[in-house]
Amino acid sequence: MEPKERSSDKASQEMIACMAQAGQQNAWDRFDSQLPQCGFGKQGICCRICAMGPCRISKKSPLGVCGATADTIAARNLLRMIAAGAASHSDHGREVAHTFKMAAESENSDYMIKDELKLREVAARYGIKVEGRQTKEIACELADVALSEFGKQEGTLISTQVYPPPARQKVWQQLGVTPRSIDRDIVEIMHRTHMGVGSDYKNLMKQGIRASLSDGWGGSLIATELSDILFGAPWPIRFGTNLGVLDAKQVNIVVHGHEPTLSDIIVAVSQEPELVQMAKDKGAEGINLAGICCTANEILMRHGIPVAGNFLQQELAIMTGAVDVMLVDVQCIMPSLGSLSKCFHTKLITTSPKCKIDGAEHIEFHEDKALEIARQIISVAIDNYGNRKGKTSVPKTTERGIAGFTTENIFYNLGGRFRASYRPLNDNVINGRIRGAAGVVGCNNPKQVHDYGHLTLIKELIKNNVLVVSTGCSAIAAAKAGLMRPDAAAKYCGKGLQEVCETVGIPPVLHVGSCVDNSRILTILSNVVAEGGLGEDISQLPVAGAAPEWMSEKAVSIGMYFVASGVYTVISEPLPILGAPNLTRYLTEEIEQELGGKWAFECDPIKTAEMMLEHIENKRDALGINKKGERKLYDMADRRAISVE
């Protein structure tokens, strides 16, 4: 297969060719050798929950040994995906909360509270008294309250009573899915899906919905809010991206994974004069830090650290031969990196007790010795610089963009610094310059040409005057293609959106962070509702979500909490439920009556865009903000032709 049939990104194509030439395997090759993939797994109708099985559902045997139907089996499997996804995000949130507590309590921690304003705002939301109190006192109390959200045994999550619009809270109460506590909701999934507990797929799904909401409005939200307070809330910032940000003349350290606790400290010390001098003594010009996946997004948003690539570029980065250390923590790290790094001088370093990888060196990270360990890791990279084997092959391709948008600073960017308000955003949606907004998020997946799904979908949306917010690997794809440059507005947008972007000076695709920062999209939606004029609930807004190249269980949890928050959500690869007809009908149709959002599956990004645009126009109609006669039979040509005075 030609490299361009695997990735639409030039730098990646170059490295894929390079790997083929060197006889090195990558995810695309391994995907090919997995084909054909198991049809039962794909449809979600294989069960190995107990030892009477494994059972798989077919015409010949429509029930498992215990009598479970396809709907029961697929629902249980899906719930366990949600549990894993929610657990990953929430455990990340828990780590941040622990570090936050340590920073708040200790006198000589390597961390300190960087954003006092946000601390006070968040603490007040959590019902903590802030007036007349010291930062430290407030922070200690917030740390305790946040940590208790994970394990409390009674009541419901505080955040779900204060962040979402009241109308949304009521929807959850009526359905009985208000999240209670983060760990409890995940544990209950494991209980309910044990052999011989529930078999009613709808009742099973309720717990999936509740646990996903516990993730989005709970664990992920805590991760975002506390990270902002601890590491500083992001502010619009320029950055460079793609494999070309690696610099053959410098010591290259690539951080990969998810949590910001170690990477933020690495950023803080990597330019210390003694370390830079050490690097120079070894013949390097300096120390160059770059990121992959969501760790990259965390330090990009707050420090403008360059992003070397997204999920499917992790192997390609090592293949350049220029990475002296790849430093990983948790999640989305391919086990293949262990053996691949052995073919080069690259040291793969694992740092979390939760994640050890064959072929990696383990330097365990402890927050109470953060600076010391960060310096040690950088020294390992410097020492390793001299061990490079032969020529490096770093692609020249890079792109630039602006990241660092948040729920809070969008106020400033859209409303002007002295008139901070969501009003201009709502007004531009109401007057039709902006038709609506879309969240395009999620991973890469070798089933789709790398980045093609993200880019095709996003370009189609902004061409049709839909403002895009993006996170995770999707945001990295957009940045690499130049869609986060302010001049992208003139190049790719419809007239209305272009006008708004140019007036305000924002790109048409707003980078709002890592995957836990999808919680920012939730709170942005809450603010849009609160600003007024676009209905009482998120489900009334002209918005839609998509994950056009998803692969991770976290994406399932994210999709579920967006649907449960009232958002129409289109994903590429279908959820593994198609072998369960009733469950499929429930999640893609009937659920809309209960929650206002629903799932859709579509692999073609152009069709995905059409579906999202159709939905957005329907919502506009329902709100009565499409002027009479403005909407005839909307086809794509019509939408492209829409021009606003």
Q: Is 47 in the site for ligand SF4 (CB under 6 A)?
A: yes
Q: In DSSP terms, which residues pair with 501 in a beta bridge?
A: none
* Alpha-carbon separation of residue 497 from 405, 468, 505, 506 (angstroms): 17, 10, 12, 10
Q: Is 22 in the site for ligand SF4 (CB under 6 A)?
A: no
Rounded to the nearest 5°, which phi and psi values hold at 56? -135, 145
For residues 530 and 538, give the distance between their C-alpha atoms in angstroms, rounded to a whole number. Answer: 10
Q: At what angle do helices 220-231 and 293-303 cross, to 10 degrees?
A: 40
Alpha carbon of residue 323 to chain centroid = 25
Residue 3 or 64: the one with the smaller Cβ distance to ligand SF4 is 64
Query: Are residues 436 and 524 in contact, defined by beta-carbon separation less than 8 angstroms?
Result: no
For residues 526 and 528, give the distance between their C-alpha atoms in angstroms, rounded to a whole number. Answer: 5
Q: Is 65 in the site for ligand SF4 (CB under 6 A)?
A: yes
Cβ neighbors of 205 (< 8 A, separation 6 or more) are 75, 78, 79, 583, 586, 587
Q: Least Å distance between CB 197 and ligand SF4?
A: 10
Residue 481 DSSP symbol: T
Instruction: Please choose which of ligand NFS, ligand SF4, none residue 53 contacts, taking the beta carbon within 5 to 8 angstroms, the exact cut-off set by kind.
Output: ligand SF4
Q: Least Å distance between CB 89 and ligand SF4?
A: 27
State the chain's maximal CA–CA distance in angstroms.
Answer: 72
Which one of residues 30, 48, 366, 491 is an interface residue with ligand SF4 (CB under 6 A)?
48
Instruction: Please choose which of ligand NFS, ligand SF4, none residue 293 contacts, taking the beta carbon within 5 to 8 angstroms, the exact cut-off set by kind.
Output: ligand NFS
Query: Are residues 118 and 233 in contact, defined by beta-carbon separation less than 8 angstroms?
Result: yes
For residues 78 and 577, give the distance between their C-alpha atoms in angstroms, rounded to a whole number. Answer: 8
Q: Least Å distance between CB 195 and ligand SF4?
A: 4
For residues 516 and 557, give the distance between their C-alpha atoms in angstroms, rounded to a whole number. Answer: 11
Instruction: Please choose which of ligand SF4, ligand NFS, none residue 473 contacts, taking the beta carbon within 5 to 8 angstroms, the exact cut-off set by kind.
Output: ligand NFS
Both tokens of 14, joined, read 């170059």
Instruction: Name residues contacting ligand NFS, limited to 327-356 (CB under 6 A).
Output: 332
Exposed, middle or buried: residue 465 (CB in 10 Å: 0-12, 13-18, 19+)? Answer: buried
> Residue type for 414, please?
L
Instruction: Please choose which of ligand SF4, ligand NFS, none residue 65 contacts, taking the beta carbon within 5 to 8 angstroms, the exact cut-off set by kind.
Output: ligand SF4
Three-state SS for 238?
Answer: strand
Q: Least Å distance between CB 55 and ligand SF4?
A: 3
Query: Are residues 357 and 348 in contact, defined by beta-carbon separation less than 8 angstroms?
Result: yes
Instruction: Please choose which of ligand NFS, ligand SF4, none residue 66 contacts, taking the beta carbon within 5 to 8 angstroms, the exact cut-off set by kind.
Output: ligand SF4
For residues 134 and 141, give the distance between their C-alpha atoms in angstroms, rounded to a whole number. Answer: 11
Residues 118-137 as x/- pattern, contact with ligand NFS by CB under 6 A: --------------------
Q: Least Å distance between CB 51 and ligand SF4?
A: 7
Residue 43 or 351: the one with the smaller Cβ distance to ligand SF4 is 43
For residues 645 and 637, give the distance between their C-alpha atoms in angstroms, rounded to a whole number. Answer: 18
Instruction: Name residues contacting ligand NFS, limited to 547-606 (CB under 6 A).
Output: 552, 554
Q: Is 473 in the site for ligand NFS (CB under 6 A)?
A: yes
Rounded to the nearest 5°, which phi and psi values hold at 252? -100, 125
Which one of residues 472, 535, 542, 579 is an interface residue with ligand NFS (CB under 6 A)?
472
Q: Least Å distance between CB 587 and ligand NFS?
A: 21
Residue 225 or 298: the one with the smaller Cβ distance to ligand NFS is 298
Q: Least Å distance between CB 634 and ligand NFS?
A: 31
Which one of residues 66, 190, 380, 430 is an interface residue with ligand SF4 (CB under 6 A)?
66
Q: Least Å distance between CB 38 and ligand SF4?
A: 16
Query: Are residues 83 and 186 in contact, defined by beta-carbon separation less than 8 angstroms?
Result: yes
Side-chain-side CA neighbours of 101 within 13 Å: the count stands at 14
Q: Least Å distance between CB 294 and ligand NFS?
A: 3
> Residue type for 1, please?
M
Rounded to the nearest 5°, which phi and psi values hold at 109? -75, 155
Number of residues that bind ligand SF4 (CB under 6 A): 14
Instruction: Please choose which of ligand SF4, ligand NFS, none residue 195 contacts, taking the beta carbon within 5 to 8 angstroms, the exact cut-off set by kind.
Output: ligand SF4
Instruction: Please choose which of ligand SF4, ligand NFS, none residue 248 contacts, taking the beta carbon within 5 to 8 angstroms, the exact cut-off set by kind.
Output: none
For residues 432 and 625, give the distance between their C-alpha atoms in angstroms, rounded to a whole number. Answer: 8
Q: Least Å distance between CB 72 and ligand NFS?
A: 28
Cβ neighbors of 99 (< 8 A, separation 6 or more) are 111, 230, 261, 367
Which one of residues 102, 162, 195, 355 is an interface residue with ligand SF4 (CB under 6 A)?
195
Side-chain-side CA neighbours of 519 within 13 Å: the count stands at 26
Three-state SS for 352?
Answer: coil
Q: Least Å distance between CB 33 and ligand NFS?
A: 21
Q: Least Å distance between CB 446 and ligand NFS?
A: 12
Instruction: Please choose which of ligand SF4, ligand NFS, none residue 52 contacts, taking the beta carbon within 5 to 8 angstroms, the exact cut-off set by kind.
Output: ligand SF4
Q: Is 52 in the site for ligand SF4 (CB under 6 A)?
A: yes
Q: Is 515 in the site for ligand NFS (CB under 6 A)?
A: yes
Which one of residues 15, 45, 68, 103 is an interface residue with ligand SF4 (CB under 6 A)?
68
273 cis-preceded (ω within 30 degrees of 0): no
Q: Is 70 in the site for ligand NFS (CB under 6 A)?
A: no
Stretch of residues binding ligand SF4 (CB under 6 A), selected from 9-17, 51-59, 202-210, 436-444: 51-59
- A 10 A CB-CB count for 283 gives 10
Stretch of residues binding ligand SF4 (CB under 6 A), selected from 60-68, 97-105, 292-300, 519-527: 60-68
Report the candidate in 253, 231, 259 with the shortest Cα–Cα distance to residue 352: 259
Residues 429-458 as x/- pattern, contact with ligand NFS by CB under 6 A: -------------xx---------------
Which one of residues 17, 18, 50, 355 is an interface residue with ligand SF4 (CB under 6 A)?
50
Residues of this chain that interact with ligand NFS (CB under 6 A) are 258, 293-294, 311, 332, 442-443, 472-473, 514-515, 552, 554
Residues of this chain that interact with ligand SF4 (CB under 6 A) are 47-50, 52-55, 64-66, 68, 73, 195
